[in-house]
């Protein structure tokens, strides 16, 4: 390992130790804006990071709605938490299926009147190791970006008004950094359009996704100047990051008492099915920043976090 890599590894390990310690410090009364009446919806919560986010949120005393695209698997996962004494309910939800989203929203409205927290965790990636197939690009972008976006749109009217404000947390990735040093879009004009809040819009993000998918279909994507690693996945997360900022701007003029804060974060490279358990971060550490953002008592919105710290988009 080179000196630089070793130093980065040391820094990460030190930060993870700090975070493990922070997790043991209870929230003080003035920070605790939530109670067991507070509802948190977590998508893709039957396993991996989503399950752990559900577990940690329930551990903080929030009522968690564990959602899963497979009903039976969701019920089994919820049982594990319920048997641990947590307040956990469960419902089917496939974020790439508009009917499933609307059935879920109807149920949520009827049973709970809405939610206070939404964690968009569900996601897919079909590249492992150094592979970079785009064979399933449409599916990756449909689930990771359009599924997340459709959930946000469907859930905004269901975010319950409160003095503390409702929260949306999107589980994203550093691979989707628009201005990262590596793995970025080579077209500087497009990067500027996607990073400047004056020009960034849902239309620009959707257009970028359509251009890429069209090039995949025409088999011309290799020369399109797209991110070089995990191209389809990186672009889907770039879209999630950009949409988080764009939506934060759109939501910013809501009146006091109806505020919605929206942020995204990168959990790191995590030991889950998605990485073939090859990651270097545990699910506990990976869920931490998501839980931190969901429970944050400060009015932070439109930001990208990693390891509880704000990072550049
Ligand atoms: P897993 O593959 O373990 O879990 C993914 C979860 O998403 C599963 O519950 C899966 O359900 C669910 N899911 C997939 N598609 C849908 C859908 N259409 N509707 C509802 N749920 C769906 O991966 P992780 O826990 O690692 O990933 C969680 C999130 O973290 C993802 O958004 C991922 O992109 C992100 N992330 C992960 C990293 C890592 O290193 N692992 C790094 C950076 C980001 P099912 O069981 O039915 O397949």
**What pLDDT score does 296 carry?**
96
Of all protein residues, the one whose alpha carbon is nearest to atom 34 of ligand 1 is 123
Centroid of ligand 1 to alpha carbon of 188 (angstroms): 31
What's the CA-to-centroid distance between 122 and ligand 1, angstroms? Answer: 5
User: Measured between alpha carbons, how far is 235 from 55 in angstroms, rounded to an integer?
Assistant: 29
Q: Which residues of 245-254 are buried (b: 16+ CB within 10 A; e: fewer)?
A: bbbbebbeee
Å from CA of 159 to ligand 1 middle: 23
Q: Supply the pTM of this predicted model.
A: 0.98
Q: What pLDDT, on a 0 to 100 scale, did the predictor assign at position 55?
A: 98
Measured from the Cα of 100, ligand 1's closest atom is: 19
Q: Whose CA is nearest to atom 44 of ligand 1?
A: 173
Between the CA of 262 and the centroid of ligand 1 the distance, in Å, is 19
Ligand 1, closest atom to CA 172? 44
Predicted local distance difference test score (pLDDT) of residue 43: 99
How does pLDDT run across 253-277, given as a tens digit for each residue? Answer: 999 999 999 999 999 999 999 999 9
Q: What pLDDT does residue 1 have?
A: 62
What is the model's pLDDT at position 5?
87
pLDDT of 128 reads: 87
- The string of DSSP letters for 44-88 reads TTTSHHHHHHHHHHHHTT-EEEEEESSHHHHHHHHHHHHHTT--E
The answer to whether residue 105 scores a pLDDT higher than 80 is yes
pLDDT tens digits, 107-162: 999 999 999 999 999 999 999 888 999 999 999 999 999 999 999 999 999 999 99
Mean pLDDT of the chain: 97
Q: Which residues are catalytic?
A: 233
CA distances from 303 to 3, 84, 94, 191 (A): 31, 33, 26, 18
> Which of 41, 44, 94 has most ligand 1 atoms within 8 Å of its beta carbon, as the pocket-test mutant?
44
pLDDT digits (tens, 9 = 90+) for 187-236: 999 999 999 999 999 999 999 999 999 999 999 999 999 999 999 999 99
Query: Ligand 1 pocket: which residues have CB below 6 Å?
Result: 43-44, 46-50, 69-70, 93-96, 121-125, 143, 147, 171, 173, 266-267, 269-270, 272-275, 279
Instruction: Give the position of tokens 């505020």.
Output: 259
**DSSP single-letter state for residue 29:** T
Give 90's DSSP letter: E
Residue 233 and residue 127 in contact, taking contact as beta carbons nearer than 8 Å: yes
Neighbours of 200 (CB within 10 A): 20
Nearest to 151 by CA among 42, 53, 47, 258: 42
What percentage of the chain exceeds 70 in pLDDT?
A: 100
What gap in Å lies between CA 313 and CA 293, rounded to an integer?
A: 16
How confident is the model at residue 102, as a pLDDT? 98
Neighbours of 154 (CB within 10 A): 17
Task: Give the count of beta carbons closer than 10 Å to the beta carbon of residue 129.
Answer: 8
**What gap in Å lies between CA 160 and CA 38, rounded to an integer?**
10
Residue-by-residue DSSP string for 106-156: HHHHHHHSSBSEEEE--------TT----TTHHHHHIIIIIIHHHHHHHHG
Domains of the chain and any CATH numbers? 35-129+137-174+233-311 (3.40.50.720)
Contacts of 50 (CB under 8 A, 6+ apart): 42, 43, 44, 119, 121, 122, 171
């Amino acid at each position: 390992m080179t000196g630089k890599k070793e130093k980065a590894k040391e820094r990460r390990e030190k930060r993870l130790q700090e975070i493990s310690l922070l997790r043991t410090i209870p929230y003080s009364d003035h920070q605790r804006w939530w109670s067991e009446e507070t509802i948190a919806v977590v998508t893709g919560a039957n396993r991996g990071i989503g399950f752990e986010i559900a577990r940690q949120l329930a551990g903080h005393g929030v009522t968690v709605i564990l959602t899963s695209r497979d009903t039976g698997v969701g019920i089994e996962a919820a049982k594990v938490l319920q048997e641990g004494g947590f307040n956990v309910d469960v419902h089917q939800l496939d974020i790439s299926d508009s009917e499933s989203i609307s059935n879920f929203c109807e149920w949520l409205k009827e049973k709970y009147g809405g939610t206070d927290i939404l964690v968009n965790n569900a996601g897919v990636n079909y590249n492992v190791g150094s592979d970079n197939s785009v064979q399933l690009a449409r599916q990756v972008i449909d689930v990771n970006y359009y599924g997340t976006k459709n959930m946000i749109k469907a859930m905004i009217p269901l975010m319950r008004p409160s003095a503390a404000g409702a929260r949306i947390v999107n589980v994203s990735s550093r691979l989707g950094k628009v201005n990262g040093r590596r793995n970025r879009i080579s077209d500087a004009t497009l990067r500027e359009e996607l990073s400047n809040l004056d020009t960034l819009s849902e239309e620009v993000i959707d257009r970028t996704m359509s251009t890429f998918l069209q090039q995949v279909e025409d088999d011309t994507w290799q020369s399109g100047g797209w991110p070089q690693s995990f191209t389809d996945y990186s672009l889907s997360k770039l879209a999630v990051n950009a949409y988080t900022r764009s939506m934060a701007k759109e939501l910013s003029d809501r009146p006091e008492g109806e505020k919605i804060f929206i942020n995204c974060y990168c959990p790191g490279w995590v030991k889950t099915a998605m990485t073939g358990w090859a990651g270097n971060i545990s699910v506990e550490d990976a869920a931490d920043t998501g839980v931190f953002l969901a429970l944050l008592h400060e009015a932070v919105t439109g930001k990208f976090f990693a390891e509880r710290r704000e990072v550049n988009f």
